[in-house]
Amino acid sequence: MELINKLRLIIEGLEQKDFFKYLVVLLIFIVLLTGTILFWHYNKISGLRESLEELNDVREDTVLPILRRMDTVSLQKKQVNAILAKDKDFKIGDYLNKLLRKQGLTFNSITPSTVDLGNSYNEVFAKVQLSEMDMRQLCEFLETIEKNERVYAKDLEIIKSKKNPGTIDVNVTVATLEPKQIAKT
């Protein structure tokens, strides 16, 4: 209160011309201070807005493709589940035995194995050793596997036959997926 009284006495003691000079200087100071604060504020907002726009651009470039890929993976998972549901008792060893006998191919062995894929499926694969076959027989065999949506050729090794010239020996790995809870070989 005492400060206000002293200020009032100083102002009352000023001449009118000096009072207006001080008043104008005070108003200019207030306007400059307000202008500086507003400039700083809007400059800061502009910088933050640019940073936000850059962040949104980066997010669109990274997140949207991931979401699209997730949709694709979900669709593929539904398709795989539908394929697996068609034949719940499918056994890759029995399938390959029937196929090889039907095509009259000579095979040494079929070795089924299971691998945990770390998701809701196990991969069941069988390594088949085929001997003394020609390229036509191999192509027909691979085409038959390709046409069956339940199985796929995972690995293929073709070796020139040592027993019969003009023929080949083939090591092929044929695989399928099975749900984890009913994985059978």
pLDDT tens, position by position, 154-173:
999 999 988 888 899 899 99
How far is 121 from 79, CA to CA, in rounded Å? 13
Nearest Cα residue to 76 out of 119, 112, 116: 119
- Non-local (6+) Cβ contacts of 90 within 8 A are 84, 150, 176, 178
Domain limits, the chain: 2-82, 89-182
Query: What pLDDT does 24 receive?
Result: 92
Q: Which CATH number describes the domain made up of 89-182?
A: 3.30.70.60
What are 91's two structure tokens?
């056994």
- Rounded distance between C-alpha atoms, residue 176 and residue 6, angstroms: 95
Residue 183 has pLDDT above 60, yes or no: no
Cα distances (Å, whole numbers) of residue 138 to 47, 100, 102, 170, 179: 65, 11, 14, 8, 30
**Is the model's pTM score more than 0.95?**
no
Distance between CA 43 and CA 50 in Å, rounded? 11
Looking at residue 38, what is its pLDDT? 95
Q: How large is the average pLDDT for residues 104-132?
A: 85
Tens digits of residue pLDDT in 9-60: 887 888 888 888 888 999 999 999 999 999 999 999 999 999 999 998 888 8
